[in-house]
Amino acid sequence: MKHIVHEQLGKTIAVLEKVRADETLLGVVAEAAEVTAEAMLKGRKLMVAGNGGSAADSQHLVAEFVSRLVKDRPALRAIALTVDSSILTAVGNDYGYEKCFERQIEALGQQGDVFLGISTSGNSPNVLRALALCRTLGVVTIGFSGNGGGKMAPLCDYNVIVPCDTTMNIQESHLALEHIYCMLVERCYFGAESTLV
């Protein structure tokens, strides 16, 4: 059993090393953070959504924005579209699960907002529909994916595509990058001293 632990950690590290070596990917994370901070400084908000582990990531990331990441500072305007069971089940029942995020963006999204869609495959139908609506509303779109980006890549203004096709390793990289994304937004919004531990 111990050798399995060692082997899996090695795979995780190998993917993270690929991410760290991808200058384009790193640049996109930085650009996405700058755009998000700029939107928040103008009174706009960040909306985040995904399915399964990516739904958990959505809630985790938003918690970092609303509470804090490393240092005390005012709350930042962010919402996870994965948490209201009444909305999710009503839309799922009345319109279909593929519309559960799209419908919330229709209600809450405003021009200049930012939507971050998370999908390890890049092909989650409800994330794709949400991204497509954002395009028509003037909402900036950020995609965190793997598997080459999937169908969501052309729908995103900023693509963070983990160079991997194994779901758990993509998710591990997503979480690391989501923390860094939040840290960079804090830095852009509050100044460099806000991210010093």
The tokens 């052309």 sit on which residue? 154
Amino acid 194: pLDDT: 61
Cα separation, 75 vs 20, in Å, equals: 29
Give the pLDDT confidence of 148-197 residue by residue, as tens digits: 999 999 999 999 999 999 999 999 999 999 999 999 999 999 987 665 55
User: Is 51 assigned to a binding site?
Assistant: yes
Asked if pLDDT for residue 65 goes beyond 90, the answer is yes
User: Is 86 assigned to a binding site?
Assistant: no
User: Is 22 assigned to a binding site?
Assistant: no
User: Is 126 assigned to a binding site?
Assistant: no
Domains of the chain, CATH where assigned = 2-190 (3.40.50.10490)
User: Is 64 assigned to a binding site?
Assistant: yes
Asked if pLDDT for residue 139 goes beyond 70, the answer is yes
User: Is 94 assigned to a binding site?
Assistant: yes
User: Is 60 assigned to a binding site?
Assistant: yes
Burial 86-108 (b: 16+ CB within 10 A, else e): ebbeebeeeeeebbbbbbbbeee
User: Is 121 assigned to a binding site?
Assistant: yes
Q: What is this structure's pTM?
A: 0.95
Give the pLDDT confidence of 33-59 residue by residue, as tens digits: 999 999 999 999 999 999 999 999 999
User: Is 6 assigned to a binding site?
Assistant: no
